[in-house]
Structure 1
């Protein structure tokens, strides 16, 4: 690629390229060279925008976590409509059907990345922690609406749902589960909770 060619929104272009490499080839294939090649730019572009590759990866993870906020708002807006199991199934399908599973694999495979993320997020596994918070905020609203029994511990139920559904999606190379399989797990986890 010729030098001196302006790249629009280089940060987002690099993030999107990293996401494609991550989804296609997995966390071990994610290198600065792979990202810049996928983005169609010189390697120096990445280092002009980020201190080093781990700084880039940390920003990528934080950017993708930010997208969960939009999903959380949509899930909260669905409270009181449809069924609790249906709303949770849709939200979890959207969450784990995205790059979230690959991001979890990336975070768990890179010690330096985890160390950087600990500065911004001192507890939990990035993406999974935010996903559990999304589910908990939704379930809290449903409990206030009387659609979830008051005596259930939402702070335990939310990560239980995340863990159970994450297991369905965890095989990066396998066929993703269908909505029916996710709904079955959600229904089993919330049995006795939904009213």
Structure 2
């Protein structure tokens, strides 16, 4: 006889619960019990789908990295349309949502998580590295189309944009950064290279 209600997508339900705990309570309070309580499931559900809590956290971050990689493909597809600053502003605002920012803090706070993510092939600083690669790929595409100066140092511009935008997001604890502030950062960083 069944003892509970079947979960439609238990992994996603647990990932969503982890995001809510991170936003509400911070990385230091993220535990397997906090996640399962937030998800409204028995603690065993997490361990049925993941070897241990660090495996769960690794998959949580890898899931977010996959979202960044999908977003990178979408951003590259915008090359040649709209404005460079507008395209980058949009992707930074949607990409660096409050949950993403909380996950970055989590990655920084947990050595074992970073170790496992590196073993899985993530960037040196997971999520930030993938976001930087996304911006660099887009800038390269725009440079190839002539909308960015041929001599523009994309390898320097991409991390500068990510770092400067990241500061805008950390100022907005639990809420998205103001689009106007992000756009100002983007236009300032790109001022000398956009044609």
Query: What is the TM-score when the length of structure 2 is the normalising length?
Result: 0.93
- Which residue number in structure 2 is paired with residue 119 of structure 1? 119
Alignment of 1:100-179 (within 5 A): 100-121=100-121, 123-171=123-171, 173=173, 176-179=176-179
CA distance in 2, matches of 1:168, 1:21: 22
- Which residue number in structure 1 is paired with residue 17 of structure 2? 17
CA distance in 2, matches of 1:27, 1:112: 14
CA distance in 1, matches of 2:122, 2:62: 13
Counterpart check, 1:185 vs 2:157: no
The alignment yields a C-alpha RMSD, in angstroms, of 1.6
Contact 1:101/1:172, CA 8 A, preserved across alignment: no
1:125 positional shift:
0.8
CA offsets, 1:25-81, max 9 Å, x none? 211111100100111110011011111101100000000110112211221121111
- The structure 1 segments of at least 4 consecutive aligned residues displaced by more than 4 Å after TM superposition are none
- Which residue number in structure 2 is paired with residue 44 of structure 1? 44
- Which residue number in structure 2 is paired with residue 62 of structure 1? 62
Counterpart check, 1:35 vs 2:35: yes
1:4 positional shift:
4.6
The unaligned stretches of length 5 or more in structure 1 are none
Contact 1:102/1:172, CA 8 A, preserved across alignment: no
CA offsets, 1:135-184, max 9 Å, x none? 11111110011000011111111111001000111146365431111111
